[in-house]
Amino acid sequence: MSKILVVYQSFGGKTKSLAEAAAAGASSVGAETVIKEVSAVSADDFSGIGGVILATTQPFQSMAGGTKSLFERLWMGRDKIKKGIRLVIIICHMNDTKPTEDSIKAIAGHLGLEQVAGGLTVKVDEIEAGKESARQLGIAMAQGG
């Protein structure tokens, strides 16, 4: 079973709760999980992992600033990131997620991350239902999906 890095950007705790649910799902099937807030993540954290679950907020219909800063730090250390690490995205939102999805997909591709189909979008007023979906996503990621 591979190690899963769960990274989150959260303003009020909703996105963090989705990340925690995803990590709990992955752990429930035997995966080793590490949960970190985006400001605490560097390219070194990508050593020895099999997948990344990125949970981010979407203020103003675009990628959260902390998430963007994460990608800028990763870009500077991109030589340390093994190509083909699986990535799945959770976006906590109030409006159209396409701009954020497109941005993350493009940046992830430049970093050599392999985006897994079936990410998750959760409206801010549907967090409780979203937690179960995030848990299932964590299970799927841990099982190689």
CA angle 119, 68, 132 (to 5 degrees): 30
Question: For 13-35, what is each residue's pLDDT tens digit?
Answer: 999 999 999 999 999 999 999 99
What per-residue confidence (pLDDT) applies to 59?
85
Q: Which residue, chain included where needed, has tokens 């429930």? A: 28
In tens, the pLDDT along 53-68 reads 999 998 888 889 999 9
For residues 61 and 136, what is the distance between their CA atoms, to the nearest angstrom?
A: 26
The residue among 69 and 1 whose pLDDT is bigger is: 69
Q: Specify the pLDDT at position 1.
A: 53
Superfamily of domain 3-142: Flavodoxin domain (3.40.50.360)
Mean pLDDT, the chain, whole residue set: 94
Where in the chain are the domains? 3-142
